[in-house]
C-alpha cells in the first residue's frame, strides 16, 4: 500500500499546478504586451508551446517507463506509462487545436504543414496507436509488454519522422512560413512560466491517473482473490 | 547451423505455405491494382503527374498490410508459433525469417503492380530504372521490417488485423515520404540530387527498424 | 544446486504468475537418465503450464531449472536443442504436407540426413501414404501421430509430452507406449502430462501430482497407486472447499 505521505505530496503538486496555472494565465493575458505583428492572438503561443513540450515529455516518459518495465516487470511502471500516454495525448490534442486557432487569424490558413506541428500530428497518431494496443489486449502482463515494445518503437520513430518532414518541407516550401518571433524579456519570462506550469500540471495529472490505475488493478485483484476462495 | 541458414528455413516455410494456394499474394496484387485505379479516378492522374509517386506507394503499402496480417495470423491459428518458440533458434531468427518472407511477398506484388502502374500513368523510370529498383528494395525493406514486428504485436490483440494499419502507418511515415520523394526523382519529376538524400535516409530507417525489433523480438513472442 | 550427481534435469522452486495469480508455485523435481516423470492433477492444476515454462514458451516468474548442470533459462537456443516437445495442439502447419512439416522442424533443429530421418519418422507414424498431402486434411489422430514424430525428431535426450495419448486409437497408443519404454530404456528422460492416471502410472518411474499450481505429491512410483494419486488432489480440493465454507 502507499504511504500517507504520498497523498500529501501529490496534493501539494496539484495545488502548485493550480497556482502556477493561474499565474501563467495572468502573465499571458495581462502582463505580457501583445506581439508586434500578430497582436493579441499570439498569446495562445504560450500555451501552445507549453503543451507541445509536455506532449513530447509525456511520450519520453512512456518510452522510459516501458523500457524499465521490460527489465523489471514491475506493474506500477506500466501504469505510469499508460497514465503518461493518456495525459500526453490530451496535451498533444491541445497543440493540434491551438495551432490552427493561431494560424488562421495570422496566416489565413488553418494548417501550415509546419515541421514541428506536423511531427506533433504524427505523434498524436502514435499515441492513439499505443492506446489502441492497450485497449485491444486484455491480459495485463501481455498488455504491458506489448505496449512497452510499441512505446519504444514509437519513440525512436519520432525523430526520424521529424527529419523526414523537414527535408520534405525543404523541397516543397509552403508559401506560409511561420518563422520566428523576436521575443522580449517579458515574453521569455511568460513562456518559461507557462512551460513550468503546464509541466507541473502534467506531473500531477499523470501521477493521479497512475494511482487511479493502480487502485483499479488492486481492486480487481482483490475481487479475483475472493472469487477463488469461494 | 548458421544464422542465415536458420533464417532461410523459417522463410522457406512461409513461402511454401503461401505457394500452396493460400492466395494471400493474389489478394494483395488484386487489391493493389484496384487501389491504383481508384486513386487514378480520385486524383485525376491524367491531368496531374505530380500525384503519381504517391499513388503507387499508397497502393503498394495498403495492399501490403494484407500480407503482413497473414504472416502471424496463421501461426496463432494452429499453434505453429509454439513450434517456432521451442525450436533451438534465436528469437531474432524468427524475426528475420518472417521479415524475409514478407519482403519476398511484397516484391511479388510490386513486380505486378509497378508495370501496370507505369502503363496506366504513362510514366516510367526509363534509363533510371536501376535507381528505381534500388529504391523499391530499400523502401520495401523498411515497410517489411516495421510491418513484421508490428504484425507480431497486433497478432496478440483482439481484432489484430484491424489494429495493424492503425499502429503501422504512423511509424511508416518516414518510409512513405522517402519512397514518394525518391520516386519523383526517378520518374523525372525532380532532379536526381534529392534521390540520394532520401535513399540514405531510408537506409538509416531500415537499419534502425531491423536492429531494434530484432533485439526486442524475444519480448514480443513470449508469454 | 541440489540434486544427485546422476540427475540430468533439476527443477527448483519453479513459479509462474499471470497477473496476480500464481499458476505455478514452488514446483521442483529431479530426473535422471531413463526416468519417466508422470505429471498428474486435476484440470487447471498447472500441468501444461509447467511444461510450457520449461520448454521456453512461457517465461518463468520464479525458480530455476538446470539441464546437465546448465541454467536452461539463460541458454535458450542450447536448451531447446536438448528436448522434443509435444503440446496440446499438434503444432503443425495445415497448409504444408506431413513431410514438409517434419522437414521444417528437422532443418530448424539442424539435423543431418533430413530426408532419411523424415522418411523413417513417417513410416513409424504410419503416414507414408499421406506424406505429401496438406495436413489440413488429416484426422486429429493422424495429426497427433505426426506431432509425436516431430517431438522425437533427432532422438533428443529429453521429451516433454502434454497429453500425448489425445486422439490416438488403441493401436497407436500401444505403439507410443512401446516407443516410450524403448526410449527410456535407451536412457532418454520423459516428462509426461496425462489425464489418464492409470495409464500414466504404468509407464512412469517418478510421480508428480499438482493441484492449484503446487506440488502435493512427488517421488518415485513405488507404492503409489492410482487411488492414492486421485485421492490426494480430491482431498486438497475438499479441504479448500471446507475452509471456504468456514468448516
pLDDT value, residue C39: 92
Nearest to C19 among A141, A229, A230 (CB): A141
pLDDT in tens, C11-39: 999 999 887 788 999 999 999 999 999 99
The DSSP H or E segment spanning C3 is none
C31: Cα within 13 Å, side-chain hemisphere: 29
- State the DSSP code for A53: H
Question: For residue A113, with 0-12 CB atoms within 10 Å meaning exposed, 13-18 middle and 19 or more buried, which class applies?
Answer: middle
- State the DSSP code for A30: I
Nearest to B88 among C58, C59, C109 (CB): C109
Q: Which residues of chain C have pLDDT under 50?
A: 1-2, 240-247
C161: phi then psi, degrees, rounded to nearest 5 = -120, 125
Three-class SS state of B122: coil
Three-class SS state of B204: helix
Give strand ranges (E) for A6-148.
none
**The pLDDT of residue A152 is above 90:** yes
Which residue of chain A has the CA closest to C241? A230
**Cβ pair C107:B9 closer than 8 A:** yes
pTM of the predicted model as reported, rounded to 2 decimal places = 0.90
* Letter string b/e over residues B129-162, b meaning 16 or more CB atoms within 10 A of that residue's CB: eebbeebbbbbbbbbbbbbbbbbbbbbbbeebbe
Distance CA C210, CA C50 (A): 10
Q: Which residues of chain B have pLDDT under 50?
A: none
Contacts of residue B77, Cβ cutoff 8 Å, sequence gap at least 6 = C94
* Cβ atoms C188, C158 nearer than 8 A: yes
Distance CA B172, CA C149 (A): 43
Cβ–Cβ pairs < 8 A, chains A and C: 16
Number of H helices, E strands in chain B: 8, 0
pLDDT value, residue B101: 94
Distance CA B154, CA C59 (A): 20
B40 touches chain A (CB under 8 A): no
* Cβ atoms B84, B220 nearer than 8 A: no
Contacts of residue B168, Cβ cutoff 8 Å, sequence gap at least 6 = B65, B68, B146, B147, B150, B151
Work out the number of other CB atoms within 10 angstroms of the CB of residue C177. 14
pLDDT value, residue A179: 60
Work out the number of other CB atoms within 10 angstroms of the CB of residue A37. 10
C interface with A, Cβ–Cβ < 8 A, is 18-21, 240, 243-244
> Strands C158-162 and C189-193, how do they pair?
parallel
Distance CA B49, CA A139 (A): 49
**Looking at the DSSP assignment, which residues form a beta bridge with residue C191?**
C37, C160
**Looking at the DSSP assignment, which residues form a beta bridge with residue A7?**
none
Residues A41-61: what's their mean pLDDT? 93
**The pLDDT of residue A176 is above 70:** no
C172: Cα within 13 Å, side-chain hemisphere: 21
**The pLDDT of residue A76 is above 50:** yes
**Cβ pair C80:B87 closer than 8 A:** yes
**The pLDDT of residue A187 is above 90:** no
ipTM value > 0.85: yes
Distance CA B56, CA B75 (A): 30
pLDDT value, residue A39: 78
CA distance C19 to chain A (A): 6
pLDDT band at A37 (very low <50, low <70, confident <90, very high): confident
**Looking at the DSSP assignment, which residues form a beta bridge with residue C38?**
C192, C207
Distance CA C103, CA C115 (A): 7
Distance CA B183, CA B126 (A): 12
pLDDT value, residue B200: 94
Residues A165-185: what's their mean pLDDT? 73
Number of domains chain B is built from: 1
CA distance C58 to chain A (A): 11
Distance CA A20, CA A26 (A): 10
Residues A146-153: what's their mean pLDDT? 97
CA distance B77 to chain C (A): 9
CA distance B11 to chain A (A): 24
Which residue of chain A has the CA closest to C18? A141
Higher-confidence residue of A203 and A224: namely A203
Q: How far is CA A167 from CA A172, B94, B140, C76, in A?
A: 9, 35, 20, 44
Which residue of chain C has the CA closest to A143? C19
pLDDT in tens, C101-142: 999 999 999 898 999 999 999 999 889 998 998 888 899 899
Contacts of residue A75, Cβ cutoff 8 Å, sequence gap at least 6 = A140, A144, A214, A217
For residue B63, what are the domain limits?
3-221
Torsion of CA C88, C90, C95, C100, to 10 degrees: 150
C65: phi then psi, degrees, rounded to nearest 5 = -145, 140
Residues A168-181: what's their mean pLDDT? 68
Question: For residue A31, with 0-12 CB atoms within 10 Å meaning exposed, 13-18 middle and 19 or more buried, which class applies?
Answer: middle
Contacts of residue A44, Cβ cutoff 8 Å, sequence gap at least 6 = A98, A101, A102
> Strands C7-18 and C21-32, how do they pair?
antiparallel
Nearest to B212 among A156, A161, A171 (CB): A156
Q: How far is CA A133 from CA A122, A142, B158, B174, C186, in A?
A: 17, 10, 9, 22, 49
* Cβ atoms C76, C56 nearer than 8 A: yes
pLDDT value, residue A224: 82
Describe the crossing of helices A75-107 and A44-72 by its angle, rounded to 10 degrees. Answer: 160
Residue B179: name the closest of B49, B58, B39 by CA.
B58
B114: phi then psi, degrees, rounded to nearest 5 = -65, -50
**The pLDDT of residue A144 is above 90:** yes
pLDDT value, residue A178: 60
CA distance A217 to chain C (A): 10
- Give the least confident one: A134-138, A226-230, B115-119: A226-230
pLDDT value, residue C96: 87
Distance CA B105, CA B101 (A): 6
Residues A183-191: what's their mean pLDDT? 84
Domains of chain C: 7-82+157-244 (3.40.50.300), 92-154 (no CATH)
pLDDT value, residue A175: 56
**What whole-number percentage of chain C has pLDDT above 90?**
52
Residue showing cell 508551446:
A49
Higher-confidence residue of A34 and A61: namely A61
Three-class SS state of B104: helix
Nearest to A230 among C20, C21, C244 (CB): C244
**Looking at the DSSP assignment, which residues form a beta bridge with residue C10?**
C30, C66
Amino acid at each position: 500500500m502507499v504511504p500517507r505521505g504520498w497523498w500529501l505530496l501529490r496534493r501539494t503538486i496539484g495545488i502548485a499546478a493550480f497556482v502556477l496555472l493561474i499565474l501563467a494565465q495572468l502573465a499571458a493575458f495581462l502582463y505580457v504586451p501583445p506581439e508586434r505583428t500578430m497582436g493579441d492572438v499570439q498569446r495562445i503561443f504560450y500555451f501552445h508551446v507549453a503543451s507541445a513540450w509536455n506532449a513530447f515529455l509525456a511520450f519520453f516518459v512512456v518510452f522510459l517507463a516501458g523500457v524499465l518495465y521490460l527489465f523489471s516487470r514491475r506493474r506500477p511502471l506500466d501504469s505510469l506509462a499508460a497514465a503518461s500516454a493518456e495525459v500526453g495525448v490530451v496535451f498533444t490534442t491541445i497543440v493540434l487545436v491551438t495551432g490552427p486557432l493561431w494560424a488562421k487569424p495570422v496566416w489565413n490558413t488553418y494548417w501550415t504543414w509546419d515541421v514541428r506541428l506536423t511531427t506533433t500530428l504524427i505523434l498524436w497518431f502514435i499515441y492513439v496507436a499505443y492506446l489502441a494496443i492497450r485497449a485491444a489486449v486484455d491480459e495485463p502482463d501481455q498488455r504491458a509488454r506489448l505496449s512497452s515494445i510499441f512505446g519504444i518503437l514509437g519513440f525512436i520513430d519520432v525523430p526520424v519522422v521529424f527529419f523526414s518532414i523537414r527535408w520534405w518541407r525543404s523541397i516543397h516550401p509552403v508559401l506560409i512560413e511561420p518563422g520566428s518571433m523576436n521575443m522580449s524579456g517579458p515574453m521569455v519570462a511568460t513562456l518559461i512560466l507557462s512551460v513550468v506550469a503546464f509541466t507541473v500540471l502534467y506531473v500531477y495529472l499523470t501521477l493521479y491517473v497512475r494511482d487511479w490505475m493502480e487502485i483499479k488493478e488492486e481492486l480487481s485483484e482483490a475481487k479475483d482473490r475472493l472469487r477463488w476462495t469461494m | 547451423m548458421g544464422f542465415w541458414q536458420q533464417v532461410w528455413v523459417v522463410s522457406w516455410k512461409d513461402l511454401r505455405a503461401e505457394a500452396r494456394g493460400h492466395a494471400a499474394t493474389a489478394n494483395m496484387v488484386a487489391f493493389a491494382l484496384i487501389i491504383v485505379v481508384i486513386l487514378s479516378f480520385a486524383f485525376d492522374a491524367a491531368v496531374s503527374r505530380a500525384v503519381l509517386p504517391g499513388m503507387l506507394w499508397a497502393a503498394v503499402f495498403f495492399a501490403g498490410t494484407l500480407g503482413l496480417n497473414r504472416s502471424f495470423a496463421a501461426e496463432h491459428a494452429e499453434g505453429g508459433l509454439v513450434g517456432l518458440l521451442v525450436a533451438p533458434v534465436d528469437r531474432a531468427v524468427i524475426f528475420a525469417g518472417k521479415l524475409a518472407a514478407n519482403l519476398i511477398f511484397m516484391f511479388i506484388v510490386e513486380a505486378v503492380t509497378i508495370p501496370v502502374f507505369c502503363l496506366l500513368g504513362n510514366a516510367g523510370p526509363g534509363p533510371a530504372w536501376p535507381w528505381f529498383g534500388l529504391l523499391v528494395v530499400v523502401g520495401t525493406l523498411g515497410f517489411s521490417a516495421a510491418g513484421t514486428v508490428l504484425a507480431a504485436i497486433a497478432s496478440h490483440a483482439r481484432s489484430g488485423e484491424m489494429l495493424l494499419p492503425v499502429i503501422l502507418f504512423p511509424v511508416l511515415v518516414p518510409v512513405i515520404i522517402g519512397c514518394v520523394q525518391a520516386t519523383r526523382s526517378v520518374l523525372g519529376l525532380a532532379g536526381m540530387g534529392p534521390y540520394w538524400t532520401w535513399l540514405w535516409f531510408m537506409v538509416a530507417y531500415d537499419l534502425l527498424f531491423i536492429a531494434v525489433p530484432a533485439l526486442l523480438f524475444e519480448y514480443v513472442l513470449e508469454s | 544446486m541440489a540434486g544427485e550427481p546422476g540427475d540430468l534435469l533439476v527443477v527448483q522452486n519453479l513459479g509462474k504468475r499471470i497477473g496476480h495469480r500464481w499458476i505455478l508455485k514452488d514446483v521442483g523435481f529431479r530426473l535422471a537418465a531413463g526416468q519417466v516423470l508422470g505429471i498428474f492433477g486435476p484440470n487447471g492444476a498447472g500441468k501444461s503450464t509447467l511444461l510450457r515454462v520449461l520448454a521456453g514458451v512461457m517465461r518463468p516468474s520464479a525458480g530455476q531449472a538446470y539441464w546437465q548442470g546448465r541454467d536452461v533459462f539463460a541458454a535458450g537456443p542450447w536448451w531447446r536443442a536438448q528436448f522434443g516437445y509435444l503440446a496440446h495442439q499438434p503444432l503443425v502447419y495445415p497448409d504444408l504436407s506431413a513431410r514438409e512439416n517434419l522437414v521444417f522442424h528437422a532443418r530448424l533443429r539442424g539435423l543431418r540426413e533430413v530426408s532419411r530421418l523424415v522418411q523413417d519418422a513417417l513410416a513409424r507414424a504410419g503416414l507414408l501414404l499421406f506424406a505429401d498431402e496438406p495436413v489440413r486434411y488429416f484426422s486429429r489422430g493422424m495429426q497427433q501421430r505426426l506431432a509425436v514424430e516431430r517431438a522425437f525428431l533427432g532422438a533428443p535426450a529429453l521429451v516433454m509430452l502434454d497429453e500425448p495419448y489425445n486422439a490416438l486409437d488403441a493401436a497407436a497408443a500401444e505403439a507410443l507406449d512401446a516407443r516410450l519404454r524403448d526410449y527410456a530404456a535407451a536412457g532418454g528422460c520423459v516428462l509426461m502430462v496425462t489425464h489418464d492416471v492409470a495409464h500414466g502410472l504404468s509407464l512412469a518411474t517418478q510421480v508428480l501430482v499438482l493441484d492449484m499450481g503446487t506440488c502435493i505429491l512427488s517421488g518415485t512410483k513405488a507404492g503409489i497407486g492410482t487411488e492414492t494419486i486421485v485421492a490426494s488432489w480430491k482431498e486438497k480440493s475438499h479441504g479448500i472447499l471446507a475452509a471456504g465454507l468456514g468448516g
